[in-house]
Amino acid sequence: MYTKNSKGQTSVFNDGYIKLGNAIIIQAVKDYRDVLKKLNKNSENSMAKHTKREIEGFFHSSLFGMITTINPDMLIRKLNEEVCGE
C-alpha cells in the first residue's frame, strides 16, 4: 500500500504487508490445487477432505477478506474447474 505523508511524499511502508498478503493467498491456492488433485486420485482420503475444508474456511474468513477483494466462491469454483474439470 502506498500512502502519502503530510508533505505529499509517497511511502512504501505497507508494501511488505501487501507482499506478505499476496504470498499467503498464493500458497493457499497452491495448497488447494494440491488437495483437489489428491481427492481426484482418492475421493475417500479423509486427510485431504479435512485440508480442503480448512482451506475453504480460510477462503471464507475475515482475514482473507482483509487481504484481498477476490470473491472466495468464484475462486473455489475456478480452481475446481481448473483441476477437476467441473
What pLDDT digit, counting tens, does each position of 17-43 carry? 888 999 999 999 999 999 999 999 999
- Domain around 27: 3-84
| Average predicted confidence (pLDDT) for the chain | 89
Give the number of domains in the chain. Answer: 1
Residue 4: phi, psi to the nearest 5? -105, 135
Q: Is 11 helix (H, G, I), strand (E, B) or coil?
A: strand
Give the integer Cα–Cα distance in Å for 31 and 8. Answer: 41
Rounded percentage of the chain residues whose pLDDT exceeds 90: 74
Q: Which is higher by pLDDT, 82 or 13?
A: 82
Q: Residue 1 — very low, low, confident or very high, per pLDDT cuts 50/70/90?
A: very low
CA 1 from centre of chain: 19
The pLDDT score that the predictor gives to residue 26 is 98
Orientation of helix 46-59 relative to helix 72-84, angle to 10°: 140
Any idea what the Cα angle at residue 57 is, between residues 51 and 60, rounded to 5°? 145
